[in-house]
Amino acid sequence: MANVVVVGAQWGDEGKGKIVDWLSERADVIVRFQGGHNAGHTLVIDGVVYKLSLLPSGILREGKLGVIGNGVVLDPWALVDEIEKIAAQGVTVGTHNLIIAENTPLILPLHGELDRAREGSNAVARIGTTGRGIGPAYEDKVGRRVIRVADLADEPTLDARIERLLTHHNALRRGLGLPEVDGAALKAQLLAIAPRILPFAAPAWKVLNEARKAGKRILFEGAQGSLLDVDFGTYPFVTSSTTLAGSAASGSGMGPGAVGFVLGIVKAYTTRVGEGPFPCELHDETGEHLRTVGHERGTVTGRNRRCGWFDAVLVRQTCVLSGVRGIALTKMDVLDGMPELKICVAYDLDGQRLDYLPTAADQQARCTPIYETIEGWAGSTAGARSWADLPAQAVKYVRRIEELIQCPVALVSTSPEREDTILVTDPFAD
């Protein structure tokens, strides 16, 4: 019985929330292991839309335990707001179904202010961040000055953490022309939110180890996408955490042996939010069609997503990097009715054919796609729940993708609704 890691295999927004929610019926514990509230998972259940950023997607199912792992950076105010919003939709979050790792770093207001000040500066090129303080919080984590959840329970420790943090940040803020942060006011903010957060605090690594020994099924939920990975993504237009499957172990406190089946979530075309290279981007009517039919606006930012054809080069690469053993193909229905489709099978870089995305930023920007054209289908895939429900040409499209990315399809999602899913291989049965 395998534990399952779910990662986005493109630039994010692949539909991880729905797939994690669907898989969570088979799981006992659902773990967020990286990222912050820059993640956005939209779930549609019986026609009701739920939008999550920090809470593990399995929180919507009864009897499941959600875990926010140490690899996440947590904005405590955003978490409380999210809990209150889904409570208004009838979903109760309490210590019975959510724990937060005690060593989880906190995102503070000063992190968001720094993030936005940098993005708004004309002195440096824009990265396209969400402005929510994710990057500055991770910087403080590796700089050994971040405040963690456990620190909220001990005032002397909190005082020391705040002093060390502000020694760094106030110097930065003076250079950016921002007012200095008052330590006493920051402490008051933290002590005010602490009672809303501390009841959830727990040694998550221990809880997860005990669950594993008891034979519980654990589902690890990634955020963002593999191409936004800080090491292997389109750097510097990336997020500040490791988005690959390997971080499920370090971001939760479990050893590598706890990671079983890796499921990559892949959209049937390609999208990207923010700045950075995008070889298959379409600036024509087809791109606008994908954006409109696919409702391609960011869950968190509300920004329009850039759209393009399916890029088999990139997905093959990210499947290798995360050790993906099967993919979940989402948003097939967006391609319904298109007379022909294109798949990127290689890149042209200054006359040289490449079967991978190079590391150098200038080379990434010069890569142009080499396409293969495939016939579209006239029928509808929307709501299909078996292969027999799919048009024959849609099945051919799926099979061709499998060949090009050298990885089998385990699931096909045919609408945002929870049950509109074709199961080919059950990752938990591995």
- The set of catalytic residues is 13, 41
Which tokens in the block code for residue 166?
Answer: 């502000």
Phi-psi region of 331 (alpha: psi -120 to 50; beta: other; left: phi over 0): left
DSSP category for residue 280: T
Under 8 Å between Cβ of 413 and 331: yes
Spatial neighbors of 92 by CB under 8 A, at least 6 apart, are none
DSSP category for residue 104: P
* Bridge partner list, 308: 270, 281
Provide the 3-class DSSP secondary structure of residue 98: strand
Under 8 Å between Cβ of 55 and 36: no
Query: For 195-225, what is the HEC assignment?
Result: HHHHHHEECHHHHHHHHHHCCCCEEEECCCC
Euclidean distance between the first and final Cα of the chain, in Å? 6
Torsion of Cα atoms, 85 then 203 then 40 then 269, to 10°: -150
**CA nearest 116: which of 166, 171, 176, 72?**
176
Under 8 Å between Cβ of 430 and 260: yes
Interhelix angle 155-176/109-120, rounded to 10 degrees, is: 20
Which tokens in the block code for residue 363?
Answer: 């080379």
Can you tell me which residue has the tokens 């405590």? 76
